[in-house]
Chains A and B, each alone.
Chain A
Amino acid sequence: DQQVKQNSPSLSVQEGRISILNCDYTNSMFDYFLWYKKYPAEGPTFLISISSIKDKNEDGRFTVFLNKSAKHLSLHIVPSQPGDSAVYFCAASAYNFNKFYFGSGTKLNVKP
C-alpha cells in the first residue's frame, strides 16, 4: 500500500504560468518531506524540502506548501520554464530519516 501518492501522472503548463504539483500521504508519523526532479536517463536531484514544523518553504521559483491536517503537500513553480520539464517525485520520511517513501511521480511538460 503506497504511503505517498501522486495522483496526477502528468501535467502540462504554458511557459511563464504557475505549475502546481500535488502529493498526498497517509502516515501521520511522516515529519519531513522532499521534492526531487528527474530528467530521463538521469538520477533524481534534490529540489526542495520542508519539515512538519513549517507550512511553507520557498527557494527561488520553487515553493512547497504543507497541510498537515489534510496530509497534503504541493510544489509550486513560478514562473514555469521549459527546462522545468521533468518528472517530479515527492518523498516523505519519519523521524529516523533512514527510510524515504516516494510517490509515483508527475511528469511536467512546460510548453514554450
Chain B
Amino acid sequence: DVKVTQSSRYLVKRTGEKVFLECVQDMDHENMFWYRQDPGLGLRLIYFSYDVKMKEKGDIPEGYSVSREKKERFSLILESASTNQTSMYLCASKTSGNTIYFGEGSWLTVV
C-alpha cells in the first residue's frame, strides 16, 4: 500500500511565523503535490514537484514555497503565515501512473 505521511496533523501558529509542513512518501514516487482544501473551493494546487530539486507553481502559489531535497520528502513552507492561510493542507504523490495518493492532511490555524 502507498503511504503518504504528513508529520503534523494539527498546528496553531501566530501571524508572521514561519511554518513548515512536512510530507514523506514511501513508494519512490517521482511526483509530489501540495493542495489546500477550503469549504466550497475543493482542492486547489499550491505547488508540485516532478523530481528532486524540481518544482512548479500550481494555481495558488502566492505566500508559499516548497523544498524537495530528497525524492521521498516534499516540504511546504509558509514564509510569514497569515490568517487567510488557515486551511487543511494535503500532500499527495504519484508515480508515472494515473492515480494520486493523499496523506491524511494537516490542519493549520493561523491566529
Q: Do A and B bind each other?
A: yes
Q: Is the CB of A103 within 8 A of B102?
A: no
Partner pick for A99 among B40, B58, B105, CB 8 A cutoff = B58
User: What residues on A are CB-neighbors of B107 within 8 Å?
Assistant: 41
Q: Which of B65-73, B77-85, B93-101 contacts A (4 or more CB under 8 A)?
A: B93-101
Q: Is the CB of B40 within 8 A of A9?
A: yes
Partner pick for B42 among A32, A49, A104, CB 8 A cutoff = A104
Q: B61 within 8 Å of A by Cβ?
A: no
Q: Is the CB of B45 within 8 A of A98?
A: no
List the A residue with the shortest CB-CB distance to B97: A97
Q: B25 within 8 Å of A by Cβ?
A: no
How many contacts between A and B, using CB within 8 angstroms? 58
Partner pick for B41 among A44, A91, A99, A104, CB 8 A cutoff = A104
| Min C-beta distance of B50 to chain A, whole Å | 6
- A contact residues, range: 20 to 34
Q: Is the CB of B99 within 8 A of A34?
A: yes
User: What residues on B are CB-neighbors of A99 within 8 Å?
Assistant: 45, 48, 58
Interface mask (B10-49 → A, CB under 8 Å = 1, otherwise 0):
0000000000000000000001010100001111110010
Q: Is the CB of A89 within 8 A of B43?
A: yes
| Min C-beta distance of A30 to chain B, whole Å | 12
User: What residues on A are CB-neighbors of B97 within 8 Å?
Assistant: 97
Most buried by B among A4, A44, A93: A44
Q: Is the CB of B105 within 8 A of A102?
A: no
CB interface residues, A 12-52, toward B, < 8 Å: 32, 34, 36, 41-46, 49, 51
Partner pick for B43 among A9, A44, A93, A97, CB 8 A cutoff = A44
Q: Is the CB of B103 within 8 A of A43?
A: yes
Q: Is the CB of B98 within 8 A of A32?
A: yes
| Min C-beta distance of A7 to chain B, whole Å | 12
Known A-B contacts: A36-B102, A43-B4, A104-B42. Give 16 more (CB < 8 A): A4-B42, A9-B40, A41-B104, A41-B107, A42-B104, A43-B102, A44-B43, A46-B99, A89-B43, A98-B48, A99-B48, A100-B33, A102-B42, A102-B43, A103-B42, A104-B41
